[in-house]
Amino acid sequence: MNPLLHASFTKKFAGGPVVQADDLEIAATGVTVLFGPSGSGKTTMLRSLAGLEIPDTGEIRFGSETWFAAGKNLVPPRDRQLGFVPQDYALFPHLTVAANIAYGLPGRPARKKAARVAELCGWLGLDGLDRRLPSELSGGQQQRVALARAVARQPRLLLLDEPLTALDAPARQRLRGELRRLLRQLGIPTVVVTHDRLEALALGDELVVLDEGRIVQRGPVQEVFGRPASRTIAGIVAVETVQPGHVLALENGLATVRVGTARLTAVAGDLPPGTTDVFVCIRAEDVILSGDPGAHASPRNRLAAVVRALIKEGPVTRIELDCGFPLTAVLTRQACAELELAEGSPVLALVKAPQIHLVPRTN
């Protein structure tokens, strides 16, 4: 990755946590997601990049510019030429949509301001709303106004703090794809803070996982979600099945692992030689369920299972299984109906070897 921004700093809070960014790098293209549970330091890191928090030590460099060094903001927020969208959008309640967007264009002639506002309203689907107040807008419309204000002066870097958290669940689901499309069209390097796994998967190119104020893993989004580096990280990225296992054999790059009363075949990957105890990590969406024992010939792991629980979650259903160890799958409601799944019913669970990630277990 060719980083546009490089940051290594520490921010201490009196009587509270320490947030430490070790070699945080933001790519010159695409979307980098700062991901982790509440209190992990995501927003503090974002606000430090923006210059709204002043770290205690370290430095922040943007290209050839040094924004922060040795406890001093060398470049104040207004001079960093970035766009910032906070969690609550921070729209001025007494200003119209047009005036909120134009607020990001200080010093420009009125004619040029009006032209830029009209351009952004057209692009973001806000035509006809320019005279409305924020209280007269839906949550999604308010989000687009905040985004328009942030990009009005064509920033070099865009920072979004939990951009969808203020919306209800149906709106979040609808707007994830729309926000990703808008960010792609903008072409501005972007940093997004979120604790939502689906949001990170939908929006991000690179993922930086935080835990207790520190960066614990980073890499392409799918790679980090699919191959967490530790049991703790597996929990943070919400891998549904994390079970202790014992390696029985390693041969031709494949590991045979005992999990509960079952045996699984997994790709050994980077498993250190001599490893015997592991955590077996399986994402729910990688589990295939079938009622036909002769179907789906390719998966190596074919597990006779019993449905223990069906949990409805919007358009999908989470299925808790017992196949010699607890296993979670997720299907659409239609797929569940077609398989006639019910508590206590038998089903075949299939998992491909490359979809099983093994993490060395030290205790």
* Tens-place pLDDT, residues 81-94: 999 999 889 999 99
Same domain, 222 and 271: no
Distance (Å, whole) CA 233 – CA 268: 19
* Tens-place pLDDT, residues 247-289: 999 988 899 999 999 999 999 877 887 889 999 999 999 999 9
Range of the domain at 120: 3-231
Distance (Å, whole) CA 268 – CA 279: 12
For residues 319 and 307, the answer to whether their CB atoms sit within 8 Å is: yes
Average pLDDT score over residue span 202-210 = 93
> What CATH number has the domain bearing residue 97?
3.40.50.300
Same domain, 285 and 323: yes
**One-letter-per-residue 3-state SS of 67-80:** EEECCEECCCHHHC
Same domain, 39 and 146: yes
For residues 157 and 5, the answer to whether their CB atoms sit within 8 Å is: yes
Q: Where is pLDDT greater, at 309 or 106?
A: 309
170 pLDDT more than 80:
no
The residues near 159 (Cβ < 8 Å, ≥ 6 apart) are 46, 49, 50, 82, 83, 84, 85, 190, 191
pLDDT confidence of 297, banded at 50, 70, 90?
A: low
Domain boundary among 214, 231, 248: 231
Same domain, 24 and 89: yes
pLDDT confidence of 294, banded at 50, 70, 90?
A: low
Per-residue pLDDT at 112: 92
Tally of domains within the chain: 2
Helix axes 139-151, 110-123, angle to 10 degrees: 130
> What CATH number has the domain bearing residue 262?
2.40.50.100
* Tens-place pLDDT, residues 81-136: 999 999 889 999 999 999 999 998 888 889 999 999 999 998 888 999 999 999 99
Average pLDDT score over residue span 199-222 = 92
Average pLDDT score over residue span 11-37 = 90
Same domain, 167 and 86: yes
